[in-house]
Structure 1
Amino acid sequence: MERINTASVTYNDVFQNPLNSRYCSNEMKYIFSPRNRFSTWRQLWVYLAESERSLGLDISDEAIAQLKQNTRIEDDEFEIAAIEEKRRRHDVMAHVHTYGLKAPAAAGIIHWGATSCYVTDNADLIFLRDALNLVLPKLAGVIQRLSKFAMAYRDLPCLGYTHGQPAQLVTVGKRASLWITDLLDDLHNLEYVRDRLLNKFRGVKGTTGTQASFLAIFKGDQEKVKKLDKLVTEAAGFEAAEISTSQTYSRKVDTDVIHALSSFGSTCERIGGDIRHLAMFKELEEPFEADQIGSSAMAYKRNPMRSERLCSLGRKLRNFSADAEQTFASQWLERSLDDSAIRRITLPESFLCADACLILLNNVSSGMVVNKAVIQQRIDQELPFMATENVIMAMVERGYSRQETHEEIRVLSHQAGAVVKQEGKPNDLLDRIRDRDFFKPIIPELQTLIDPSTFTGRSAQIVDELVEMKVSPALQKYADVLESVKDAELKV
């Protein structure tokens, strides 16, 4: 391996997380960025100082003004904080020091009565909320696009598959309705954890969750301590703080949020897998750009790379659930720090992964190509076998024995199957039926008995009902946002 000069390392000399460099939106990356993290800490210190001052603590107007004027951490301050953290081995105190240099009048009251988790945990809850608020409209946009696709192909017959084998016909739109149904569940799950999160702010709880430090500051006035908790919670945009916490908010909150994200990841892999199978059959194709190369060797190929990437990222996303569960379960008593390093990875990456999946789903659902001729060809190959039940019923209606008719059909079906499987020829079962005198009574209506549209049941109506009864109400709250949602472009 080439040895590098570590003193002159550049961006291209170090590992880059592909979620950051290839797959995600700038909006999601910013939520979990160092600037947003430390600027949010500063905003939380402003909320604390303003609330403490409103409840009678001696904090000057000048101190509040300086704090509010410097909530955004500037580039040069990162180095100051890094030097201080290396010296103190404590990230929060390093930033208290750095903020105090910008707001000297407030240097003595920043973080008054608080423990580190006041900023770290409350900030994480803010990031979870904001990230969910970014994910939800994107998911609604995907559901809207797939619903339009389902409606456009609500009555186009295609082969259904059970056990990986051709089964009773469905429609292209009906199959898409399965994806929509699962995504609606994901939408509801994510809305639930977001709404629940709004009532689980950590607030001001002190070092072990007893609020003892704040009770001391306010000379034993419990009502002021409760009011302080309420003021800070409302200032941060939450509806309520959790009543009982330890030094941290319960890591079960993380678990529930990531469960919802991981469940969405499962949906992504499921949808991506379906599209890949249909692409393999040449029935459906994802968007393919004019200059896109499918293979470096096989120029004719149109690989479903978007759906493959969706499966890959969906698989990664659904595996974050185990990390969250194990982190929650491993916490000791009022606090242990073995959660810190893994949460710095798991929380951002789970949302970055979900964001990347939504970009892919948006892109794919905006330009899927339905190959009607191939679909019809595959129907023609299999439908004669599926129509045998209709033929039997029609013969029985004319007074023929069901058992005798079944035996006639069985023999002809096996003969036609052998032609298809062993000789590679088209399915000739209908010709065999036409040539068999036994079936003369139903020959005039044979074409009607094999009309594909008569084999799809209520597929079209099911699509209509799903869109009307479930999709439309679910998307109503996102109506304003959906008007401006654009087709997502992939970076690579």
Structure 2
Amino acid sequence: MNTLSLIDSPFFGASFTDPEMRSIFDSGAFIRRCVETEVALARAQARLGMIPAEAGLGIANAANHHQFDLERLRRETEIVGYPILPIVEQLADAAGQAGRYLHWGATTQDIMDTATVLQVRAALDRIDRQLTETMGALRELAKAHRATPMAGRTHLQHALPITFGYKAAVWLSALERHRERLAQMRPRVLVVQFSGASGTLASLDDRGLAVQEELARILELATPAITWHSSRDGMAEAVQLLALICGSLAKLAFDTSIMMATELGEVSEPYVRHRGASSTMPQKRNPISCELIIAAAKLVRQHAGLMLDAMVHDFERATGPWHLEWAAVPEAFALTAGALSQAHFLLSGLEVHQERMRANLDVSRGLIVAEAVMMALAPITGRQTAHDLVYAGCCRALETEQSLFEVLAGTPEVAAHLGLKRLHELTEPTNYLGSAQEMIDRVLGGAKAGQPADRA
């Protein structure tokens, strides 16, 4: 089948999303969610005595058995501009006399919005599970490499020593916050949309709110305080969260791809024959999962911006902004699911080359812990003097290609105050890890800022 979209491509689609998320948002799923909403509305109105009970049953029975003419649906949607009227016409015909009561008091956006909310609920469940899986892989890395020393880098240069477990725990902490945001967001997003033509439910007299509440109860959604069909912050928030998740995944993917550089060689993506291979260079093992995650993050970021534009609805029903959501919402969820799948694959099988981490840590011959010497010397000489002495030592070490220990051991102003044994301890990178391991324990224990870690 010929396709236009990256997500639907038979070549690239499987790399950018996952089958479950695809099934949540495909065109057939959307039709089913629209029908589910129509059936729930008929049930609600039948319970409240607004339509005959047998009409509600008839509509439900028709929905269970009717096979839509998709070509007719496509053709009529093109004419109408929306799929709801064509869906209602086919389903009403299938329901016979009961069809007279289908779509009672509703408008197109009521059905489409509620159908989308049902899709988003299932999609958030999927994202939540994927976050949990990815976080599990990061937890294992943080535990396994709690004490694996490596160079911490700022501005792409050696800064101070860290451990690889610390790096993994930093990545993990971001996903922990996103999972918390997801839970907090649900009540604001998973809200029924049923409000009629201008949002006042006028066609249902004084029973409109009762229908809205019963519809929400049947669909297990929240009831809004007031109509939200032209106030789109909830949908926009959902996509902003997806962009945040992808941003954090892209950060770890970018770190990993740089660490895979030949000159560093500190990690490798999981080995699968020919994965990351070059068509011309046999030695290549490219960071394919990292590249896919970074690309997905950029695409989702564009959808997040699009959703901010989609918030600007004119009056009580917009002329165009709503349509932006039809692309941004399903594609953002699809791409985020794909990024999480790639991240889980990457992290659960990541090859960590501890010997290269140690070699890279030592490449500066102790300069990476110059701060440790300076801070030990500062109480004796004063901080600025200590800084100047160690800075001068660092310059000489670079010029002479000696280790920092060798240079400072021959610097009386330093060696006399600290002694050679202490100086040797200070210039060993693994002695200057600060609170990195305790921070890892706090993250793994589920502690938040200002709270003690669970030591049980």
- TM-score normalized by structure 1? 0.81
Unpaired runs of at least 5, structure 1: 1-10, 216-221, 421-426, 472-492
Q: Displacement, 1:378?
A: 1.4
| Counterpart in the other structure of 2:193 | 202
Find the counterpart in structure 2 of residue 134 from structure 1. 126
SS, match of residue 288 in structure 1: coil
| Alpha-carbon distance between aligned partners in 1 of 2:297 and 2:199, rounded to the nearest angstrom | 37
Q: Say which SS state the counterpart of residue 69 (structure 2) adopts.
A: helix
Q: In the TM superposition, what whole-angstrom CA distance separates every residue of 1:346-375 from its partner, at most 9, and x where no partner exists? A: 111111111111111111110112111111
The answer as to whether partners of 1:39 and 1:73 remain within 8 angstroms in 2 is: no
Report whether the alignment pairs 1:301 with 2:284.
yes
Alpha-carbon contact 1:35-1:73 (below 8 Å) kept = no
Q: Which residue of 2 aligns with 1:458?
A: 435
SS at 1:107 equivalent: helix
Deviation of 1:87 after TM superposition, in Å, equals 5.8
- Which among 306, 327, 337 is matched to residue 319 of structure 2? 337
Change beyond 3 A, Cα 1:406–1:257: closer
SS of residue matched to 2:445: helix
Alignment partner of 1:184 is 2:176: yes
Alpha-carbon shift at residue 93 of structure 1 (Å): 1.4
The amino acid across from 1:107 in the alignment is G
The more displaced of 51-60 and 331-340 is 51-60
From 265, 273, 278, the counterpart of 2:254: 273
Of 229, 241, 247 in structure 2, the residue corresponding to residue 260 of structure 1 is 241
**Partner SS state of residue 158, structure 1:** strand
Identical columns (%): 21
Q: Measure the CA separation in 1 of the matches of 2:43 and 2:382.
A: 89
Aligned equivalent of 1:38: 31
Find the aligned partners of 1:40 and 1:88 in 2 and give their Cα distance.
20
CA RMSD, 1 decimal: 2.8
Residues paired across the two proteins, number: 440
- Provide the residue aligned with 1:175 in structure 2: 167
Instruction: Please tell me whether the aligned partners of residues 269 and 310 of structure 1 are also in contact (alpha carbons under 8 angstroms).
Output: yes
> Offset of 1:328 from its aligned partner?
0.9
2:405 equivalent among 426, 430, 434: 430
Residue matched to 1:283? 266
Work out whether residues 397 and 404 of structure 2, in 8 Å CA contact, stay in contact via their aligned partners in 1: yes
* Equivalent position of 1:350 in the other structure: 332
1:40 maps to a residue whose letter is R
Deviates more, 1:67-76 or 1:110-119: 67-76
Q: SS state of the match for residue 105, structure 1?
A: helix
The alpha-carbon deviation at position 83 of structure 1 amounts to: 4.1
Distance 1:202 1:434, change over 3 A: same
User: What secondary structure sits across from 1:242 in the alignment?
Assistant: coil
Q: Hey, what does 1:369 align to over in structure 2? A: 351
Shift in Å at residue 154 of structure 1?
1.1
2:212 paired residue among 206, 216, 229: 229
2:136 equivalent in structure 1: 144
| 2:203 corresponding residue in structure 1 | 213
Cα deviation, residue 237, structure 1: 1.2
Q: Alpha-carbon deviation of 1:417?
A: 0.5
The runs of 4+ residues in structure 1 deviating greater than 6 Å are: 392-397, 399-408, 435-438
Measured at CA, do residues 396 and 318 of structure 1 come closer, stay the same or move farther in structure 2, by a change above 3 Å?
closer
Other structure's SS at 1:18 match: coil
Gaps of 5+ in 2: 449-456
How far apart are residue 411 of structure 1 and its match?
4.9
Residues 121, 249 of structure 1: 8 Å contact kept: no
Q: CA deviation at 1:160?
A: 1.0
**What's the CA shift string for 1:88-123, capped at 9, x where partnerless?**
555211111111232223221111121112211111
Kept in 1, the 8 Å contact 2:405–2:424? The answer is: no
Map of 1:243 onto structure 2: 225
Residues 146-165 of structure 1 mapped to structure 2, 5 A cutoff? 146-165=138-157
Cα contact 1:66–1:102 (8 A) shared by 2: no
Corresponding residue number in structure 1 for 2:453: none
* Closer/same/farther in 2, CA of residues 206 and 405 from structure 1, 3 Å limit: closer
Alpha-carbon distance between aligned partners in 2 of 1:259 and 1:291, rounded to the nearest angstrom = 35
Alpha-carbon distance in structure 1 between the residues aligned to 2:320 and 2:384: 71
Residue 431 of structure 1, CA deviation: 3.8
Match of 1:17 among 6, 31, 34: 6
Bigger Cα displacement from structure 2, 456-465 vs 189-198: 189-198
Is residue 2:301 matched to residue 1:318?
Answer: yes
SS in 2 for 1:30: helix
With 385-394 and 370-379 compared, the bigger mean Cα shift is at 385-394
Correspondence list, 1:32-111, <5 A? 32-61=25-54, 63-71=55-63, 77-85=69-77, 90-111=82-103
Question: In 2, distance between residues paired with 1:133 and 1:44?
Answer: 19
Q: Does the 8 Å contact 1:24/1:356 carry over to 2?
A: yes
Partner Cα separation in structure 1 for residue 419 and residue 346 of structure 2: 45
Query: In 2, Cα distance between the equivalents of 1:354 and 1:403?
Result: 49
Q: Is the 1:39–1:72 contact (alpha carbons within 8 Å) kept by the matching residues of 2?
A: no
Which secondary structure state, in structure 1, belongs to the residue aligned with residue 100 of structure 2?
coil
> Using a 3 Å threshold, how does the CA distance of structure 1 residues 336 and 284 change in structure 2: closer, same or farther?
same
Question: 1:455/1:82 Cα in 2 relative to 1: closer, same or farther (>3 Å)?
Answer: same
Decide which moves more: 429-438 or 153-162: 429-438
| 1:418-467 deviation line (CA, Å, top 9, x unaligned) | 245xxxxxx54434455678848833455433333211011111100111
How far is 1:343 from its partner?
1.6
Superposed CA deviations along residues 247-294 of structure 1, whole A, max 9, x for unmatched, are x25222221111111122221222211112222221222223234343
Query: Shift of residue 319 of structure 1?
Result: 2.1
Kept in 1, the 8 Å contact 2:169–2:440? The answer is yes
Q: CA deviation at 1:396?
A: 8.6
For 1:454, the aligned partner's letter is: N
Distance in structure 2 (CA, Å) of the matches to 1:327 and 1:87: 23
Secondary structure at 1:17 match in 2: coil
